Structure 1
């Protein structure tokens, strides 16, 4: 589990992150979203103990990251794939990580295979890797200690469509085994496909957070229902006192929970062909709406965020 409570970061008068709070539960993938400069990377660096917060705190598996003994065995972190040493080969990079973490060297070979870096690529120096290859190597470093938590900042950068699908499958399987994933990415459709929960940050503040179902439901909520007999269904809904509006081809949108709609239809003996939550415009529309609202309401006390200094190594 990851718990963030009131994390705040100031650089002089510039307020980069403002009282951010959220939780990432075991068995879930949490998508951490926001425009450039919103404070995502700064927040993740504070969670990992690389940036000292001005206020608030964060814990991973119940304690601050800095207090976790041999943290790479418990938390896999990828914050900057470009920070890997360019003079080492991929195999040397993972071999060193295995040595530092105290895991068998065989794990390095296993992880190279798992992330799709063949022996020929593993023998090449990292300085000659493409960005996508660096991302795969960084993910291998994050996984080599067999952690229960993953914290990944833009891990899909540079991956081709096949690589993105591979990463999505890997993260979903990791969470389904009980792992906790905090995933920052600008690839909204991919995050929507894999995440269970979303945390949206804009201007350094939380703009929205919740489950996929809560945040992506159409404004006002409601369900779409379609029956074998449209007239009978309409009558059943009216008899139950449920407001419904036609949606074409014998369907209705009802401003009520799905259970209430189903019970009303069952009580009237109406056969249902479709009953589902009404979807909104998807994560992309939610993201644009929330970030636009944040931009329209600037805080006169807020100075522009100051960029983080570049790290020199991938955090482990």
Structure 2
């Protein structure tokens, strides 16, 4: 279980993360999504005790990470695949991790087999590894202690399509055996196939959270296009509907189609298109949530305790 409550991090007057709350339950993969610079890595560093929060709390298995005795036996962490000793071989890296966490040295060999780095790659120095190989080694290192929780920041970076498919299967199996996975990415399609739930962050704030079905069920998103785009935008803004430009001169509006149509009609704007948004599925929703750097007006953000009575 991972529990994040009101996490905030400010650097001077600049908020990097603000009032972020979500839960990750055992047996689930939570996709932590957002564009580059949205606050994903800062949030994960606060969860792992590497960055002190300005306010709020984060716990893993009910306690702050820094208070977990021998944390590698409980929490597997990969925050930066490049942060590995370049002079050690892959086998030496995992053997040292196994020794420090108190598991048998044979665990290192088993993990090298699991991630596809046994044999000659295991004897190579990390300095000669590609980014994809370092990612595989980092995942193996996170798993050495046989933890019940995994926290992985952009683990698919550098992996080829086969590697991404392999990683999805590995994480799905881990969760299906009762593990908890928090997986960050700025690329939706990397995690959509494996995640049970999603937390979307933009501009340091939570933009949305829930299952795919819950996110797509959010009502009142309308796409509208008019003959005179400027006049349409002004009419919608004048009605307090806060339009956001979309492709091809259209606008996305967080309001029912009827309200959008009435606002255009009152201003005498001729419409070319008026329909419920969402035909693009989760990808369209993700892009609309993150395009403006924060949560659009009217987008529901359920309580972290209020999704089907379970935690994220």
TM-score by length of 1: 0.74
Greater relative contact order structure (CA < 8 Å, 6+ sep): 1
Structure 1 residues 220 and 10: CA distance shift in structure 2, 3 A: closer
**Which runs of 5 or more residues in structure 1 are unaligned?**
222-278, 299-316
Structure 1 residues 295 and 31: CA distance shift in structure 2, 3 A: closer
Aligned to 1:200: 200
CA contact (8 A) 2:205 2:294 kept: no
Q: Which has the larger radius of gyration?
A: 1
Equivalent pairs counted in the alignment come to 242
Aligned to 1:152: 152
CA contact (8 A) 2:156 2:190 kept: no
Cα distance in 2, alignment partners of residues 22 and 56 from structure 1: 12
CA contact (8 A) 2:111 2:140 kept: yes
Q: How does 1:59-98 map to 2 (within 5 A)?
A: 59-98=59-98
Give the secondary structure class of the aligned counterpart of 1:81: coil
Cα distance in 2, alignment partners of residues 144 and 185 from structure 1: 23
RMSD: 1.9
Structure 1 residues 103 and 25: CA distance shift in structure 2, 3 A: same
Aligned to 1:117: 117
Cα distance in 1, alignment partners of residues 140 and 196 from structure 2: 23
Cα distance in 2, alignment partners of residues 78 and 178 from structure 1: 19
What's the offset of the Cα at 1:189? Answer: 1.2
CA contact (8 A) 1:219 1:280 kept: no
Aligned to 2:211: 211
After superposition, the C-alpha distances for 1:109-143 in whole angstroms (9 at most, x for unaligned) are 00000001121000000011000000000000000
Cα distance in 2, alignment partners of residues 281 and 216 from structure 1: 10
Match status 1:47 vs 2:61: no
What's the offset of the Cα at 1:188? Answer: 1.2
Cα distance in 1, alignment partners of residues 62 and 138 from structure 2: 25
Aligned to 1:292: 291
Cα distance in 2, alignment partners of residues 177 and 213 from structure 1: 23
**Which runs of 5 or more residues in structure 2 are unaligned?**
222-277, 298-312
Structure 1 residues 44 and 117: CA distance shift in structure 2, 3 A: same
Cα distance in 1, alignment partners of residues 191 and 92 from structure 2: 32
Cα distance in 2, alignment partners of residues 123 and 216 from structure 1: 48
CA contact (8 A) 1:189 1:283 kept: no
Aligned to 2:174: 174
Aligned to 1:183: 183
